[in-house]
Chains A and B, each alone.
Chain A
Amino acid sequence: MSAGTPQRTRPGESLGREFLAVAAVQALLAGLALAVAWIFGPG
């Protein structure tokens, strides 16, 4: 962001970081679902 660009977000607000957090939550959920499928799976 250059010096003259108006700031669209406040300090501490980063869309990229939030998307990363959401992706991390999704990866955790996927991992847990795989574990459930592996432990309780039909075969």
Chain B
Amino acid sequence: MNALLALVRTWLVLDFFGESRRSGAPGSSLTTAVAGQGFLALAIAALLYPEVEPVPFAAVNLSLSTLLVGLAVLGEPGRAARARIDRLLVRTAPLPGNALAVARVVHGLVHLCVLVTGMALPPAILLSFRSPAGWTTLPLYLLAALASAATLALAIEVLARTATLLLGALRAELLLATLKTALLAVGLAGFLVALRHLDESVTSLPGGGVVAHAWPPYLAALWLAAPLDPRHAIACAGPLAALALLAAWLPDAEPRRDRPARANWRDRLAARLAGPGPQLGVTLFTAVMMRRSAGFRTRVGPLFGLPLAVLIAALVEGGGAPFGWRTSPLLLLAQFPTLLVPFVVGFLPRGEQPAARWVFASAPIAVDHLGRNAARITLFSHLLVPTYLVTLAILLVCGVPMLPAAAFVGFALGLGGLAAHWFTRGLAHVPFTGPKERDEMATDLGGILGLGMVLAIVTVGFTELPGPWAQACVALLVLGLGWPRVRAEAPA
């Protein structure tokens, strides 16, 4: 019993204070997060109260709390490192039979209660006033919020373990970081779409409500409306029990040896831009770290989730052609990758292995300007070029003709190159080798606002140009300006 309590207590201390220990900030980061999410839930519930019917009201609010818990579970920093420590310290400890499993369940429940209760209380209270069952709804809503959050958290846990078994710990962590972006984008898009259909039946949703019937919060909302109906209870508890059994059955095994990264076309582009010599080494180091650093992916991915969510919602609601070519909202949305450049640059200095700095610090040549070049080149080759290729595909799918779409993408890439050049000039050292305590983003707000305004003005100006050929000429000009600034340059 003592061992069990000690384990739960230690894990909770890590949950509450792990992040603040890493960053050196006083106080608990979890408590701040709980407060922020609770007020968000209160705001959404208050906006929907009292016009919306109980079932959609509960479904939207349960979806919010479940999604936020899912994002928190996916974004857990150092997940693989904690699993490794547990494997080494806890599984070798002389614990009685089921103590580890029981400790995991207790810790999971306490952690989930801390995360969920704050978000579930406001809608639960408001729903109690609205529901015919009165105050009995309050505990039932809290239970439903816990159950649906637990279902998503367990599904993520099952996925994480399966991915660790199949792909290795590092790739599993990268997969979860990518999944965080996807969950944010799809969840936000679903939220936006669902808000428009609150007064209608679930079959009015795109896809006839098939997705809703597989989404735990909606099933939990149905159960709340008729708690004694066994069909709804089974629909809620069945997946939860199945996932719990699966998570218990899947071995928490030693991960397979990770394979080395293979060079791809983006690395080759970066190498070509870097040229030969030490610059090539620093550039490829930055490129590999950008791809393989789970922390970087967890922080940068969600930035792209927001524009992606707006795009998905617009495509779903607008039936494939949401924007007119000349009206330019689509183009403003497509400028997001360039707008995000300063944010990404802000995340570049910090790495998970700051000791890597030693390798560069002991080099016989000065490498700091090589680091700046590398940041600029990899931002272009690994961030801007891939995202604008995807943007080109989206523009073509949205019905924009080939020439204007290509002209716009060339124009945006040129602007992106210029932005990358401007915002990386302040980088002090090679990316991913910064000191660990440097947690805050090193971005200047004025620069970001300025970039946003410039992008908005030039994009609107670009769409006003007379005809696609003029646009293509301007695009070539901007690309001609941006491209040389991306290439490696000698120190001043």
User: Given A18-B30, A26-B117 in contact, is the A8-B122 Cβ separation under 8 Å?
Assistant: no
Closest B residue to A38 using CB positions: B129
Partner of B31, one of A25, A29, A37: A25
Contact B126 A36 (CB under 8 A): yes
Considering only residues 4-36 of chain A, those with a C-beta below 8 Å from chain B are 8-10, 12-13, 15, 18-19, 21-22, 25-26, 29-30, 32-34, 36
Partner of A37, one of B35, B41, B125: B125
User: Given A10-B21, A34-B125, A42-B50 in contact, is the A29-B114 Cβ separation under 8 Å?
Assistant: no
Size bracket, chain A contacts? 20 to 34
What CA separation (Å) do A26 and B114 show in the bound complex?
10
Contact B122 A33 (CB under 8 A): yes
Size bracket, chain B contacts? 20 to 34
Contact A29 B28 (CB under 8 A): no
* A19 to B: closest C-beta gap in Å: 8
- Residue B42 is within 8 A (CB to CB) of chain A in the complex: yes
What CA separation (Å) do A30 and B13 show in the bound complex?
26
Contact B12 A22 (CB under 8 A): no
B27 cross-chain contacts in A, Cβ below 8 A: 12
B126 cross-chain contacts in A, Cβ below 8 A: 33, 36-37
A8 cross-chain contacts in B, Cβ below 8 A: 6, 9-10, 13
Contact B129 A15 (CB under 8 A): no
What CA separation (Å) do A34 and B121 show in the bound complex?
10
- Residue B17 is within 8 A (CB to CB) of chain A in the complex: yes
Partner of B16, one of A18, A33, A37: A18
Most chain B CB inside 10 Å of its own CB: which residue of A18, A25, A33: A33
Provide the B234-249 mask, 1 if CB < 8 A to any CB of A, else 0: 0000000000000000
What CA separation (Å) do A33 and B127 show in the bound complex?
10
Contact B49 A37 (CB under 8 A): yes
- Residue B450 is within 8 A (CB to CB) of chain A in the complex: no
Contact B46 A40 (CB under 8 A): yes
What CA separation (Å) do A13 and B10 show in the bound complex?
12
Closest B residue to A19 using CB positions: B114
Contact B122 A15 (CB under 8 A): no
Contact A15 B117 (CB under 8 A): no
Partner of A26, one of B26, B30, B121: B121
Contact B118 A29 (CB under 8 A): yes
A-B contact pairs, 15 of them (CB 8 A): A8-B6, A9-B17, A22-B34, A25-B31, A26-B118, A26-B121, A29-B118, A30-B125, A33-B42, A33-B121, A33-B122, A33-B126, A36-B122, A37-B129, A42-B50
If A9-B17, A22-B34, A25-B38 are given as contacts, then 13 extra A-B residue pairs at C-beta distance below 8 Å, sorted by A number, are: A9-B13, A15-B12, A15-B16, A18-B30, A19-B114, A22-B31, A26-B38, A29-B122, A33-B42, A36-B45, A36-B122, A37-B126, A40-B50
Residues in A lying within 8 Å of B, measured CB to CB? 8-10, 12-13, 15, 18-19, 21-22, 25-26, 29-30, 32-34, 36-37, 40-42
